[in-house]
Structure formats: C-alpha cells, structure tokens
Structure 1
C-alpha cells in the first residue's frame, strides 16, 4: 500500500478485497445460522436493531442448539472459568522467579488481570465467542482500553466482519461494517468530521435513520518505533462512510482483534470450520425426521377421510360431533387409508441422530460425569477416563491457546500497563519475557495424563533401588515433586525453596 493513502481508493479497495474473500463462505454460514444458531449472524440486507423472525418450520427439534450450549458452557467452565483461576504467570528462565520480590510481583500482576477480566465484559464475550466458534468455526472480538475498568470487549457475530491473514496464516487484517444514526455519529466522531448531509441531519437531531460505517484495521505501512503518535503505530485503524468519507484515522500498538479458528484446512484460509460444519447434514436429517414423525402422528390421530355423497352439510370431526346422513348401506365417513406408522423405530432413529450430533459437539465429554454410571469405579479410574476424554480436545485447545488465550492475556497486559493499572516490574526482570501457564480444568486434565508416566517411572526406580540402593540416588525427587504438582495445577508459589 502506498504511503500517501487516498481514502476513496485504497481504503475502499482494501475493504472490498477482505469482503470478496469471504463470499464463498456466506452460504455455509447462513445455513449454519438457520439450523444451529438462529439468534446469531448478521448478513447483508439485515436492518440493525430489528428482531429477526425465527423459522419454526425448520427448527422442529431444539436438541442441536442444546448441544451447542453444552459445548460453549463446557469450554467456558473448563477453559476460562470466571469462578476459578485458569492461568499462572512466570518467567523464563524459571530460576529468576526466586529473585527477591519477583514472585510477589507476578502474583500482583495476575490479581490485576483477573480483576480486570471480572470487572469488564470479558467473560460474557467469551461465552458468545465459544458459541460462534463451535457453530461457524470462526469467532472474533475487539479488545480495547476502558478508562474506568481498564479493558472492554466489543463482540462480533458472523457475517458482520471480514478477516485477512499474513504469510504465516495469522490474522492481521480486519474489516467490519456497522450502523449508526446521525446523532450517534456526531457523538463518536465529532460534528466537524461528518459529511455535510449527515452533519445537517445530526443538527436536526433525526435519530431514525441508520448510516453504514466501515471500520478497517491493517498493518501500518508508515509504522515507526521513533514516532509515538497514533498515525505511526504498528496497526492503522480507519473509520469511513460507505462512500469513502474519512471519519477517523488512528492506530493500535498491537493487533486489537482476538480472532480464532476451530480448524483450518489450509494455511491461507482466513476462516475456520468447526463442529457445526461436520454435523450440519445430521441436523438437517434430524429436522426432517421430526417432521415425518409429526406427520405420522397427525395422520394416526386425525387420518384423511372419504365422505359419502349422501352426507348432509359438512362433516363434523370433533369429539361428540354429529354428521347427518341419508342412506342405509355405505358408511358416511371412513378413513381414506390405514396409517400404521412404526413410531418406535422412528423414535430410535431420531435418538441415534441426536447422539451423533451431541458427539460432534463433545457433549458426551462435558457431561460424562452426570451421563455415565461410575458407581463401580474407583476415583482414580474416573479421573483417568476424564483425562482420556479431554485429550480428544487437544488439537483444538492448542489452537485456542495460540489464537485466543495468549493474545487475550498479552493484549490485556499491554492495555493495563499503559494505563497504570499494573505495578512496576522489579529491576531484576526488566526487559524479560513473561511466561503464561494455563491451569484450567481442561488444561489440568491434559497435563495429568502425563502424571501417570511420571508415577510409573518413580515406582520403577523404587523397585530397582530395592536391588541396587544407588539407583535411588540418581532420581531428583525434588524436581519430580515440582513436575507432578505442576501437572496437577498446584501453584509453584506453595513450594518452599530447596535451601529452606
């Protein structure tokens, strides 16, 4: 992109390119929205602040939507629960944590981050984020600073934004369109920055009409570490009208959009595919089977009839109704054909399809303790099965760690630090990179899978030491204790120093 950017050419062209890249995805998103997330999605032609009519002729069975809710709730409680700690902070190398005041500083930083997450709308945004990524395979939100609470999120739904990636497949470009009235535009951008027509509309205080606003975030070609103004930051942020009138131009030091994909088929894909893509055919089949069952029930209880020509007036099919009839031989009203629907087999088939859909959304993983009978198992066996099922989510969680959790904590730390919400770092750790370790329920379950190998190794060494006592001297039990407690999610701060 040229250094001397012309809004009506380069900005609109960039937004058009981002929008064209997502065209082939729109039909699948609309299909997923209709069958799995009827309250989500915002596509071209929709009007803001208007309720969308739900198609209850399509959604006859709500079980797929329930499976989505179970997955999003399970990811929320198991990965980023607001009720318990889900991350720890450390330094690399780890020995530096033993420096005076470092552990206390790390604990204070963690407390400030957790308080900022709780005070802001981070957790409510994450819940909708998990819903979006489960159904559509892609989810995104904008993380910005807030003078009162430190940070705040602006969640997005599928269809209202576009993404672009760099050569490594990382999301580094973002475009969206949203709607504001003239008074809202005046409040957001200032009266002098509005086009003449909208400026006049704002002066007349006419809030009924909405205007489309385009927002672009992209790598700044004029980035300079020496210049501190927002025009020379790492990422440019541009607001303009759909006609190309520039409303505001600013920048970000880090990429402010947290965008994650469930699964990426090719590194060049800007969007991902999730469980909703895999089971959409099953969901459509389930709705069709429910419709067939309802039709069979209706015909069984209210079958089509044949009416004799001798019937006087209309046939009264109500309970206790009387239909008058002149004749002695033929029946006045009789069924046109016998309906003998095998409702039991149909219900079994529906249950099988429901089970398949729930498995695609990992509902059996998150509900296993309540859905299965563990009365004949020990606590260790239950924990082992729990860990095995959690390993199924391993590849997905690794991607979410790289595209959701790491950027979220890095961006939140930078915003809070620049606003003075964080304590200053000790001199001994100035310039060092902070290490984030995740200790959520899911992360702990995955780490605990490696604890069994550690325990087996220690037991094997103990068995050999009975025959050769020198074997025990080669085992570093202090290090084994640290590794084992780390796998269980126990904070390292609870351990005394080896010297003590």
Structure 2
C-alpha cells in the first residue's frame, strides 16, 4: 500500500530529528551564554524570551562579541546602504553591449528597491547572528500580495535540514506553532483537524496548534503541469496532531528554492555547521564562572564571615551601629581574611577569557582599528596589511555565504519579481541567456583586494627593470593589468573603457603624432626650397657660376 504524502513527510521528519539531535545540547548552552532569547526547541518556548533571558549571565562580553560579529557581517556582505551584488551576462560580448548593460543596471536598481521594501535586511542580519552562534541559519522567503515578499527568519531548534547530492541544503522542515485563529485565517476550515474545527466553533481562538511545514525537491514533478505537481519544489503543511493520515492543510509548489540554510563551516559531510559559537563555548563557560567567583570574592572581602558571641547580632549592613560591651566586641572573630590580590588574579583570568572570546568570534577583526594599541590613527598601509591578514581567515566563510545564502536569495527575488512583471522587457540579445551574480560587498572586495599588492609590485618591478632593459616592458600586458586591478578593486565597469575603445584612442593619438611629425619635417623642407629660390634670383641669367664670379 502506497504512503500518503503526509506519511512520507512525517517519516522523513523523524529521520531529520535524529540527525539534528547531537547538536541540540551545544545550541542550548551557546544560547544560554551568548543570546538567551534565541533558540526554540519546544512549542511552549515561543513566548518565553523575558523569562529565559539573562538567568545564567554574569558577564555580557559574549553578547557584545556576537553583536559585533553580526554587525560586521551584515555591513560587510549585504549592507542596505551600498551595492553588494551586480548582474552580468556570462558572455563577454553581451557584457559590452550598451543595451544589455542599461537593462541590467535597471534590474539591479529595482531589485535593491524591492528588497528594501521588505523585511529582507532584518532577516539577513538575524541570520548572520544564527550562523555565528549555532553554525547554521535558515530563512524562508515567501511571496506576499501586499509586501511583495516576506522573509521568515528561523532560529535554532525551529527547523531541520537535509543536503542534496551536491552537499548543499535542499530540504527544510520547520515547526510553525499557530493559534486556531491563525490556522483558519491561513488555510481555512476545509483541511482543518477535528480539534481545530471544534475549538473554532466554540470560540477558543487562542488554542495552540502544532503545524509542520516541509519544503523539499518535488520528486513527483509532472513537467508541464500548471498545478503544484508541475513545480520543481514542493511545500506541504500539516497538523502534527491530526490523526487523519491523508489530511494536509496545504500542498503547493515553488519555481525556485524558497529558502536558504547556509553553514559557517562544515566537517566532512555533516549536515549542520560548526561556528565561532562552538569554538568559544569553553571560554564562555569559564568567563561566566570566573566572573561569578570574582563577585563572590569581592563580597567576601567586603562582608567576611564572622564568629560572634551569641549576645551580639550583626546585620552586615554598611553604616549600621551595633551596641555591645568591650568584651563582646573583642569576641568577634574573622576566621578567614580574603587576600585582595586574589581578586586581581581572578580579573586577569576574566580578561584572558574575554580576549579569547573576542578572537574566536572575530570581534577583534571588525574592531581592529578601534582596539589597536598605540597612537591613533596608525599608518594606513599598516592597517590595510593587518586587515588583509585577518580577512584571509574569513575567506571560506564569505564564499559559503555568497553561494549558499545570497545567491539563493537573489535567485528567489528575481523569480518573484519576474512573475509580478516588475522588470522592463529584456533586450532581444539577452533572451534565453544566463545571467551571473557578482558580489561587490565590502568584505568580498577586500578579499579580492588581497591580490592587488602582487599586481602593484609586479608592475613596479617591470617598470624599474625596463629602465635598464627596455625589452622587459614587452612582457607586461597593460590592458590585462588594468582589468584585473579594476575587478579586484570593485571599480564600476562603466569607468573602464573596453580594449577596443582604448585601441581606437591609441590609433587616433598615433595618427595625430604622425601628422605632427610630418608637419615638423615639412617646415625645414619649405625653408630649404625658399633658400634655393633666393639663390637663383641673386645669380641672375648666368646662374650659380655668375654669382661665384662676381
């Protein structure tokens, strides 16, 4: 007997839960020390932010470090205040076509405006925090009739993922707790369970319903079908507690992958990623422990434990006066005196742990100039060299974010806007041609600029060598050097002329130089001819012999 779609999804969800289970203990502990309001592992945790927050936090340095990492990644990779992606055709000839460049520039402008009008940038920022702390993030972008698109940013514990044969996430199951009122608003009563129907009929609109949502490649795709079966991606909503094995709330499809789930770093074929949060967890534990011990030691120094006669009642409050006889006062004994130097030793340990957390979370990278010791500002070359050295550590992460997150988000945005007919008609030359995405964010450019130093040194070396050996200059392709330098520096393509245009300018200059040379040569020749004529007139009818005879 064949399984229903609900049974297949439920069976797969059980396997996904087993794959995620080894990570959950660390996720909970990371959230406890770094951001208590994040992570959801039970439906009843949905609105427990204030109850859960800051219960085990004695030192907030980890919170500040991850906040710095989140802000640095957001502004460095996908800032709403500056361009961070560029569209271009794969064909170099098409890229030089003026009509194509104009159309792509207009599409970019409209995509930036569309994303700014949604909650995309807020969801992206939340995602960088999830990646930094838990190693994996997840976000679903859905079409919306009023907002254009809505991004549902998920936190650790709310979702499960699986990988494709290319080792990239292509499956997402998530928990969507809803009230009865929300469920009926979203799906209606036709596919609702008996519990929902009864609760809605009795006015119990705020009862919680455990709704599950599966997004995965559509293995049963019927090519050419206009319904959800014809879409390459399938979406299934169902009520977890509905006993009807065939009943689902909704089945629909997507034309492109509607979610992204990038990982900070992976080990082997692991589904979920590792992160700075995993690396910094031991130091975050010790930081809280040592800060708590420092507080206890300070309190012990200020309010030490005392042995007193039974007749003396000490309150331990500053400024309080206790009346006692001299005999009783002499009977007050402090059995153990706290050494003030112990507090300094503990504070050194606290600072060591805090510095380790800052390094492991890359907070020192994004605060490199602010935290630099010595006179400010330093030499700009020194700052650039230090940043380039540290940015090489973030290189693999930037590539993974570009491939697993931002490129998926751009594809999804382009698809939604195309179906809404928000783009101008494409030029005939671009019809059916693939378009690539180039990332021009600050961090992406800085990664590429690491190679600029080699270009500068090579050109400088050839230039100095050509002063003594002119044939050395023949080895340098100036046009290629300019193109490579401009690409690494992220220069706008419109400010760099094509090789053909540059060649026309060179030919024009060569012609002008040749004309000037001919004009310069014509001057002496003209003067020589005039001199010969003058001599002829002076010689008279006898010619030169007559002139010499005179």
TM-score by length of 2: 0.86
C-alpha distance in 1 between matches for 2:334 and 2:126:
51
Report whether the alignment pairs 1:280 with 2:281.
yes
Correspondence 1:185-264 to 2 at 5 A = 185-242=183-240, 243=242, 244=245, 245-264=247-266
Q: Which has the higher contact order (CA 8 A, sep 6+)?
A: 1
- Please state whether the residue corresponding to 1:102 is helix, strand or coil: helix
CA contact (8 A) 2:222 2:229 kept: no
| Greater displacement, 490-499 / 97-106 | 490-499
1:366 corresponds to: 366
Over residues 45-74 of structure 1, what are the superposed CA-to-partner deviations in whole Å (9 max), with x where a residue is unaligned?
524334452364520000011000000000
Q: How far 1:7 sits from its partner (Å)?
A: 4.0
Correspondence 1:47-446 to 2 at 5 A = 47-54=45-52, 56=54, 58-242=56-240, 243=242, 244=245, 245-267=247-269, 269-309=270-310, 311=311, 314-325=313-324, 328=327, 331-341=330-340, 342-372=342-372, 373=374, 375=376, 377-446=378-447
Over residues 227-257 of structure 1, what are the superposed CA-to-partner deviations in whole Å (9 max), with x where a residue is unaligned?
2321221121100011353111111122211
Q: 1:468 to 1:237 in 2, by over 3 A?
A: same
CA contact (8 A) 1:241 1:247 kept: yes
C-alpha distance in 1 between matches for 2:6 and 2:309:
75
CA contact (8 A) 1:151 1:416 kept: no
CA contact (8 A) 2:181 2:206 kept: no
C-alpha distance in 1 between matches for 2:12 and 2:460:
62
Number of corresponding residues: 495
Over residues 140-198 of structure 1, what are the superposed CA-to-partner deviations in whole Å (9 max), with x where a residue is unaligned?
10012223443221110100101111222111111111211222111100122212331
Q: How far 1:470 sits from its partner (Å)?
A: 4.0
Q: 1:303 to 1:425 in 2, by over 3 A?
A: same
Q: 1:169 to 1:304 in 2, by over 3 A?
A: same
Q: How far 1:11 sits from its partner (Å)?
A: 2.2
- Please state whether the residue corresponding to 2:253 is helix, strand or coil: strand
- Please state whether the residue corresponding to 2:327 is helix, strand or coil: coil
The alignment's C-alpha RMSD in Å is: 2.0
Q: 1:324 to 1:176 in 2, by over 3 A?
A: same
Q: How far 1:286 sits from its partner (Å)?
A: 0.7
C-alpha distance in 2 between matches for 1:241 and 1:128:
28
- Please state whether the residue corresponding to 2:211 is helix, strand or coil: strand
TM-score by length of 1: 0.94
CA contact (8 A) 1:137 1:276 kept: yes
Q: Give the number of the structure whose residues are more often helix, by fraction.
A: 2
Q: 1:319 to 1:456 in 2, by over 3 A?
A: closer
| Greater displacement, 118-127 / 168-177 | 168-177
Q: Unaligned stretches of 5+ in structure 2?
A: 502-550
Report whether the alignment pairs 1:484 with 2:485.
yes
Q: 1:330 to 1:52 in 2, by over 3 A?
A: closer
The structure with the larger Rg is 2
C-alpha distance in 2 between matches for 1:57 and 1:213:
30
Over residues 287-322 of structure 1, what are the superposed CA-to-partner deviations in whole Å (9 max), with x where a residue is unaligned?
11011101110010000010113x25x324334434
